Structure 1
Amino acid sequence: MLLNDLASDVDGPTSWFDAAAAQSALVTLGFGAGVTYALSHQLPSESLVSFLSKSAYEHWADHYLGEDTRLHRFHGMDRSEVVENYRRLDRGLIDGAVSTIITSAVARRPRANYGQASIIRREAEKKKRHIPVRQLVDRARDVIQAIHPCFMMSPLAVSQYLPADLHFDVVIFDEASQVTPGDAINCIYRGNALIAAGDQRQLPPMSFFAVSAVDDADSDEENLATDYESILDLMKSAGHFNALTLRWHYRSRHEHLIAYSNASFYDGKLVTFPGAIATSADMGVKYVHVDGVYRRSAGQDNPIEAQEVAKRILHHFETRPNLSLGVVAFSAAQRDTLENALEIARVDRPELDRFFEEDRQDGFFIKSLEFVQGDERDVIIFSIGYGPDEAGKIYKNFGALNRQGGERRLNVAITRARQLVEVVTSMSAAQMGEVGSEGARHLRRYLDFAERGPSALSLELGDEGRGTDSPFEDSVIDAIRSWGYEVQPQVGVSGYRIDIGVKHPNYPGAFMLGVECDGAMYHSSRSARDRDRLRHEVLEGLGWRIHHIWGTGWYRNREREQATLRALLSELALQPMSGRTGPAESKKRSTPIEVQFVDTVFDEAPTWAIPYAKATPDRIPQWMDLSDARYALQLVAFVREVANAESPIHFETLSARLRDAAGVGRVGSRIRNTLVRAIHFSKIDFDGDFLTVGSVSDVRVRMPSDGATRAIEHIAQSELMEAIRGVVQDAGGAPRPETLARVSRLFGWQRQTSGITMRLGGLVDHLIASNELEETAAGLRMSQ
């Protein structure tokens, strides 16, 4: 039978031998178990390749998971706990730095009411006739810088209030694009290091007084210092400074708010973060067209548009009272018209007056285009103002935008909002037609963006067709979709995207969960702080709930990971999205800093000085002939007892103690010789004048305790220098004469003789020469 089959199947034997050879080769390569399983279960030949490939990959993964300790150290849940613990410790490190700074400043606080400290206290208690600030800083500079090490001032204030020779470790310019080199030089030379923070694509330097005096449609920016080069430009062109680009942008709670600037001014290099609310009436950029008329020849304003803006302001505080608001007019004339229109509209709405109280931090404002740098609010309303005139014609004069740097002013304005921009305009991009200046061209493009959305910039914002980065993400998405949830992969616009966004079933346009896998996007940040804390906090601030799935956990225990994820989704689907977003809150410390206020009692004796403790040795027997040097050994115990109590002690003071203990009238030369021999036998350090027990660093300053003072010649140099250090340190800084007077009073000298002044003055010079003290125009201070 078999022979007949072989005879009828000419190619059969060849196929059989080929199959046997292939099976042998697969067994040799380690696929024996897989081949046996495939044959026993009669798997289709077309499935064999994918089956064996999967088997190989699983074997490879199991091998490395078992061999590499970095991979099997943590399971998924364990790793999440490690990351959360890291976040807590890292936040604690930042919070702890605040306490450290406060403690350091308190430690430098003056502990005595003399010297520079007394100048500050005296001026604080005055009701009138205060000395000028510049004089105060000059005379009390050391104490002021010690307790207040950071000065925040404009370049003009630096020139007005700080002495020319006052120096700092670091000078930092914020908004450096607005500071001319001429204004900056007066600050730069005061520092040992220089940092300039700024954006060359935002406002250039300008003359404040020129702008205040002249601002109309035809000459808004004539007197702005647009031809001046900023200190930022100068530093970048010099080539000697290290430059660091800050790419993260997280002010905007919706990516549309920064999309235009990112695409048009920053070449798409900003890393922006998507918000959990993709579409909302209170998020993004909103276009509002008004049939307004620009009064070109009369007020150079647009009253109809101003009335619409006034209505929207009142509507905002009626419907969004928890969101801060600012209004930006594109000319000073339109700003004034807006203020008048709002004042009229408020007459019938007195209950809204509380929203218009002055608050520089978050209060309502109406400002013209060039004065909004540094401001930010939850909602910004633009009043373009320009548009068709009474004859229906649009002239190509757009005030500040027509001037050099006009596009930079526009960039500042359109990046002020955290949550929503409402563009109120009487003209569309199409109506503007061809324009000449760069600023006007950007205005036309921005109006087009506001009207048509991201498509105007050819951006794929929120593109739901974007694919995943890995099969791992595909596997997670398949699981989520199988549970009935709608999923969007790669949520975001720029350099950062959330791997998987799960949409809320009850809130269209909102994501209830962001799933982050440990793939390319997670590892795109090299530092743990960026990757595991800062980025996570930014996303939470934008309304996201983030769940991390670790690849090893998903591979090893997929059922547990799926159960955890599914339970979380079920919980979030029942929760509202309203609590996720709202006004951007200022950053709060995780642990409140407790500050205790303690009044300094300046009349207390210094903590570093103690009352003089006089030794009380036993009386020396009368039979002991102290003039006989053979009795020196019997005096060793006496010398040690007195020296231990009164070190450092002058030889004359020790002689006086011996005279009292022995009951002799005077200590002559022979008794002195015996005492010197006893000192030698005692092994106590003796330099010919002073006996010192222990090291010089152990020396304490001693004040008179019983009214008896020591002559300056009988006080060791180390003790006098310690007193000088203490007086200067307690005061924070004091003039030399006052320092010497304080030291004299400390030792009980009612009259400061020339000898005392000369001795103390020489020690001050010695401390200056050894870099322990510095002498400035304001007096003596501890070396920095």
Structure 2
Amino acid sequence: MSSSRSGPRFFSSLELDSWRDEAHQAGKRLLNKRKALEKVADKLRPQLAPAASVLAENLQWTLDRLVAARGHASALYQQLGAIGGLRLPAGWLPTAPDAERQLHQACEATEISRVLLREHPAMWALFEAGFGPADLELLERLRSGWQAWRGALHCGPAEFAFWAGESGWHEAWQRDGSSWLAALKTDGLLPVQRWGAALAHADVLAEAGLTEFRTQLLRGVIDPDEAEEAYRRGVATTALAERLRAGEVEYFDAQLHDTHIDQFETVAARLRAALPEHLPSVLVRRRPFNPHERRGRVADFTAELRRKRGGRSFRELFQSYPDIVLALTPCVLVSPASAGHFLAPDAARFDLVVFDEASQIRVAEAIGAMGRGTSVVVVGDSKQMPPTTVMQASHGEEEDAPDSGPVPEDLDSILSEAVESGLPQRWLSWHYRSRDESLIAFSNRYYYDNKLSSLPSPGADPDAGVRWRRVDGQFDRGESRTNAVEAREVVAEIVRRLREPATRADSIGVVTFNVQQRDLILDLLEDSTDPLVRERMSEDETEPIFVKNLENVQGDERDVILFSLAFSTNPETGKLPLNFGPLSQTGGERRLNVAITRARRQVVLFSSFDPGDIDLARTTAIGTRHLRAYCELAASGVDRLGDLSSTRRQRRDRIREEVAAAIRTRGHEVITGHGLSDFTVDIAVRVPGAPRWQVAVILDGPQWSARPTVADRDSAPAYLRGIMGWPELVRFWLPAWVRDRAAILDRVDAAVERAVGAQARAAAEARTAAEAQLAAAARAALEAAAAEEQPEPSTPVADPFSGEQVRAIVSERRGPTPTQSPAEVAVEPMSFQPYEPTLVGDTTDLDVVRSSARVQAAVRAVLREVIATEGPVEQHRLARLTLKCFDLHKTNADRRASVLALVDPGTLRVHPIGTFAWPSTLDPEAWRGFRRARNSSDRDFDEIAPEEIVNAVCHALASARRAEQDLLRATLERLGYRRLTEKIESRLRYGLEFGQERGRIARDPDGRYRLGPTT
């Protein structure tokens, strides 16, 4: 029985105790027990709640519980009365049905009173004074109005707590209420509604777990205009941290990773080096016989090999002892035709038959070798020359082309048959031969659909890449079918390269279109008395000079290929016959591909016609059309190479762009995606103005990740230094960049500094080598002169190697003295050696140059040194180089004038295009030399004296007359420049006029130039 079954005041009744005692006495009776209990129960039932009941058998237990509950209720009442501030309703009893609810209300009221008393004493006093009905109505209006206001603002507990702060609602309302009311009167509800909508949208952020972002946005920490960017930045930062953790590169050690790569490359190199020695030893151990046996088949085989007479043929030996032969030499190298001749069909079965250069193997030749193997691998390039047979030329559309005699007819190869049969293919895409990427770029685009991966080169090497040499030759369409002028130019180029220190070590090959031109060049080389030529033609050379025609050059390679086109326009019609022999036939483009891919370092194209002379309207032959495109590429220089990579789609790499921009802030010149194939240098770096790129930066970006093997990803970049000649290589790892960008940029700075230093040392070594060569030539000239003019015995013989005489000969090599006959001086180009400034003072010296005799003496010494090194030298260049020796790199007119005032006027020679200072050892009227710039940055073209230009023109005219444009380009090439700009052409034309005035150059009525009478 609970308070819900009995009246609340029943518990205070004194009868409850007597009823309990009567019930216990009745329970002890032996007779009429139930009747006695029912009598007590009848007294209790009037106190029960409606629908409640009590059973006689439970009466004692019920009354005991009631008495106990009364005691507990009394104790609870006393405890609640002892709580200060707790005000229970009048007449409250713990046993009342709603006692618990009333108690909670009292406790809540007490807590509110406590807060009000502490935080709002004035409001508490108001409550203490009591409320009337009007006060309660006002409070209810305030409560409902505030709730409506919060609802309009979408203000949740977090926003309310932020707004109220520590001061509480009352003070916060006093602070903001009046301004809110004023804003409502001025602007209406729209700002409130907007703020509410903003909060509603912001709630989405909280629901997505972005509580901190929502708080910063609402509090104004994040500018609303930058909210999207801030969100994306936060997501990116979080995603980056998660990816670093997931990839276990959160604590990535770039230096350790680079060490692992170096170790991998070292071990791989050792493995490759060990295999040639390891594999033979393995084969020897696997031999199933003892080679020293004295009886049996092995002994018989050994005896057969030792026979000097009557021995068996190789075919018979192989057929009788196939197991022994294959155990001794399991790899047999043989041509397809020899396989059928030397190996009987039933002699042995090979596990593997490999055809190399399969594009040149006919199907009939290959069948026999294929039948002797269990499996076959066919290796070849379908874009190179197929098997051929000789046929008579058919010119078809070339009605103006003369008969060129027999030409090869293409046949089917085992490679084309395998491709057409749908055999499984494996594409080998890496190209390692070319030391300059432009050598393979043309073929990669026109023949290999840009699928070849080639290594980018740092560029600006005058002795690398594809070069055009225009020759004023004429092809003899009569009996000789040669171009003599072009042949002599090729031989002269070979001689020049063998004498030039920078190119002397390069191996050389010559390719011609026809056999007759090949034979002519070969005869000229074999008849040469030049010891360098004869030495390099010797078969004892590792790579002697070869001269081959288009049909038999496949498989050969050299550092430099000189390609003689030989053909020229018809002097009567002015048209170029478009019959280029096999090149004009179907598939002729494959022969062109072979010819232009034989070089490792450079291709020089000798041509007696211009690219535009190949009239595409008159031919449909692919080979002829490709020849014109290749000639245009060679003639236009490296600027045209951009077109070759236009089909390669570049993906935007934001990280690469970010790194490149950061490197630029360090003052370096930068280009991204440097290269002409799918393998590119991510970022190429150099100091501003440097002629070639100095540092290759390789990133671990999408291109790196897409490479399928460890060797492709981590070994190939190392070839940039070993094969392509990049001075420095920096590997970039994204985790290291994320952690410490400054360290990566410092590495790039250090690499650039090392590259600059290495190039300076190389330039100094080159100058030393050139001076040594010059001195050796001087000694040789003195020795020869002494041998020819022996003095009388009584005449004392001067030491031919005295310092004064050597210096005199050196001066003669630079240019003859006035007493020499110009015709006796050999005009051979020399490399231009730029002066390297060395600090001799600082800018404070220059401040007193007009008054200090000491500084003037120092400046004059530098001026003499510069003139002696570079003379003739243009006066402004002279001033700049001199000022650099005093640590002044940015000059102005006043500074230059202060230095030039100290130049000896007798050394200056004035022209309309500039003033030039000449060394005392050179006579401008008699000097016949000129210098070839190794890089166009060595000196600007407008810093070349007109006398030097005239000398280069005369050198170009030494072999034949030339048309004006041809002469201009030939002169430009001899001086080491590629692009014929309008400014350069103007100076060259002045040189032509100056040379004609001096009688060095003459112009014939047909407009062609030749050497003049005073050359």
Scaled to the shorter chain, the TM-score interval is 0.5 to 0.7
**Superimposed CA distance per residue, residues 584-604 of structure 1 (whole angstroms, 9 cap, x where no aligned partner):** xxxxxxxxxxxxxxxxxxxxx
Structure with the bigger RCO (C-alpha within 8 Å, sep 6+) is 1
Deviation at 1:17, TM superposition (A): 3.4
Which of 371, 382, 388 in structure 2 is aligned with 1:189? 371
Q: 2:557 aligns to what? A: 376
Structure 1 residue 112 corresponds to structure 2 residue 292: yes
Distance 1:421 1:116, change over 3 A: farther
Q: Would the alpha carbon gap of residues 561 and 446 (structure 1) be closer, same or farther in structure 2, given more than 3 Å must change?
A: closer
Q: After the TM superposition, which of the residue ranges 286-295 and 121-130 deviates more from structure 2?
A: 121-130
| Counterpart Cα distance in 2 of 1:370 and 1:341 | 21
What do the CA deviations read for 1:530-551 (whole angstroms, capped 9, x no partner)?
2222454366422234322222
TM-score normalised according to structure 1 size: 0.66
Q: What residue in structure 1 maps to residue 234 of structure 2?
A: 55
CA drift at 1:37:
5.4
**C-alpha displacement of 1:195:** 0.9
> Quick one: distance in 2 between partners of 1:505 and 1:367?
43
Is this contact kept in 2: 1:466–1:490, CA < 8 A?
Answer: no
- 3-state SS of paired residue (1:511): coil
Map of 1:541 onto structure 2: 723
2:476 aligns with 295
Farther off after superposition, 260-269 or 321-330? 260-269
Q: Distance in 1 between the 2:494 and 2:344 partners?
A: 47
- Residues 699-735 of structure 1 show CA distances to partners (whole Å, capped at 9, x for unaligned) of xxxxxxxxxxxxxxxxxxxxxxxxxxxxxxxxxxxxx
Q: What is the aligned partner in structure 1 of residue 412 from structure 2?
A: 229
Give the structure 2 partner of residue 569 of structure 1: 752
Return the offset for 1:96: 4.5
For the residue of structure 2 that corresponds to 1:112, the secondary structure is coil
**Percentage identity across paired residues of the two chains:** 30
- In structure 2, the residue matched to 1:132 is 313
Q: Which residue of 2 aligns with 1:265?
A: 447
Shift in CA distance, 396/193, structure 1 to aligned 2, threshold 3 Å? same
CA-CA distance at 1:15 after TM superposition = 4.1
- Report the CA distance between 1:497 and its aligned residue: 1.7
Deviates more, 1:452-461 or 1:189-198: 452-461
Following superposition of structure 1 onto structure 2, how do residues 199-598 of structure 1 map, counting pairs within 5 Å?
Answer: 199-207=381-389, 218-222=403-407, 224-226=408-410, 228-239=411-422, 241-275=423-457, 277-319=458-500, 320-344=503-527, 346-347=528-529, 349-358=530-539, 362-389=543-570, 391=572, 393-433=575-615, 434-453=618-637, 459=643, 461=645, 469-505=652-688, 507-508=690-691, 510-534=692-716, 536-537=718-719, 540-544=722-726, 545-576=728-759
Q: Does the CA-based 8 Å contact 1:488-1:503 persist in structure 2?
A: no
SS in 2 for 1:171: strand
> What is the deviation of 1:159?
3.0
CA, structure 1 residues 378+439, in 2 after alignment: closer, same or farther (shift >3 Å)?
A: same
Alpha carbons 2:512, 2:566 under 8 Å: kept: yes
User: Contact between 1:282 and 1:419, CA under 8 Å: does it hold in 2?
Assistant: yes
Q: CA deviation at 1:63?
A: 3.0
Q: Conserved in 2, the CA contact under 8 Å of 1:499 and 1:516? A: yes
How many angstroms apart in 1 are the aligned matches of 2:757 and 2:207? 56
Structure-2 change in CA distance of 1:563 and 1:39 (3 Å): farther
Q: Give 1 or 2 for the bigger CA radius of gyration.
A: 2
Assess if the C-alpha contact under 8 Å between 1:506 and 1:573 holds in 2: no
How far has the Cα of 1:292 moved from its partner?
0.5
Residues 373-422 of structure 1, C-alpha deviation per residue, up to 9 Å, x if partnerless?
00111110000111134545533322222334322111111111111100
For 2:564 and 2:607, locate their aligned partners in 1 and report how far apart those are by CA, in whole Å.
6
CA gap of 1:132–1:466, structure 2 versus 1, over 3 A, is closer
* Cα distance change on mapping 1:124 and 1:91 into 2, 3 Å: same
Three-state SS of the structure 1 residue aligned to 2:459 is coil
- Which range moves more in the overlay, 199-208 or 329-338? 199-208
* Paired residues, number: 567
**Does 2:290 align with 1:103?**
no
Q: Residue 555 of structure 1: CA displacement?
A: 1.5
* Contact in 2 for aligned 1:250/1:273 (Cα 8 Å): yes
Q: Per the alignment, in what secondary structure is the counterpart of residue 543 of structure 2? A: coil
Does structure 2 conserve the Cα–Cα contact (< 8 Å) formed by 1:217 and 1:398?
A: no
Distance verdict in 2 for CA 1:92–1:399, change over 3 Å:
same
In the aligned structure 2, how far is the partner of 1:571 from the partner of 1:462? Answer: 33
Identify unmatched segments of 5+ residues in structure 1: 581-784
Label 1:475 to 1:405 Cα distance change in 2 as closer, same or farther (>3 A).
closer
Contact 1:513/1:546, CA 8 A, preserved across alignment: yes
Distance 1:291 1:529 in 2: 49
CA distance in 1, matches of 2:474, 2:225: 74
- Name the residue aligned to 1:81: 259
Name the CA shift for 1:153/1:378 in 2 (closer, same or farther; >3 Å). same
The superposition leaves residues 674-699 of structure 1 with CA deviations (integer Å, 9 ceiling, x where unpaired) of: xxxxxxxxxxxxxxxxxxxxxxxxxx
Give 1:103's aligned amino acid. S
Distance 1:540 1:332, change over 3 A: same
Q: For each residue in 1:594-640, what CA deviation from the matched residue of structure 2 results, as whole angstroms up to 9, or x when unmatched? A: xxxxxxxxxxxxxxxxxxxxxxxxxxxxxxxxxxxxxxxxxxxxxxx
What residue in structure 1 maps to residue 767 of structure 2?
A: none
CA deviations 1:719-754 (Å, max 9, x no partner) are xxxxxxxxxxxxxxxxxxxxxxxxxxxxxxxxxxxx
Paired residue secondary structure (2:758): coil
Gaps of 5+ in 2: 1-177, 394-400, 764-1015
Whole-Å separation in 1 of the counterparts to 2:319 and 2:424 = 34
* Equivalent-residue separation in structure 1 for 2:362 and 2:325 (angstroms): 28
Secondary structure of 1:384's aligned partner: strand
* Aligned partner (choices 353, 356, 360) of residue 178 of structure 1: 360
SS at the partner of 2:603? strand
**Which deviations, in whole Å up to 9, do the C-alpha atoms of 1:319-347 show, x marking residues without a partner?**
21121110001100000111122234x22
Q: Is the 1:203–1:412 Cα contact (8 Å) retained in structure 2? A: yes
Matches within 5 A, 1:610-621: none
Mapped partners of 1:483, 1:456: distance in 2: 30
Q: TM-score when scaled to structure 2?
A: 0.52
Give 3-state SS (helix, strand or coil) of 1:381's partner. strand
Alpha-carbon distance between aligned partners in 2 of 1:195 and 1:472, rounded to the nearest angstrom: 43
Moved more, 109-118 or 198-207: 109-118
SS of equivalent to 1:385: strand
Contact kept, 8 Å, 1:507 with 1:577, in 2: the verdict is: no
Deviates more, 1:290-299 or 1:353-362: 353-362
Q: Distance in 2 between matches of 1:57 and 1:269?
A: 35
What letter is aligned with 1:561?
Answer: I
What is the RMSD computed on CA atoms of the aligned residues? 3.3
1:75/1:36 CA distance change after superposition, 3 Å: farther
In structure 2, C-alpha distance between the alignment counterparts of 1:371 and 1:540, rounded to whole Å: 31
* TM-aligned CA distance change 1:538 to 1:561, over 3 Å: closer
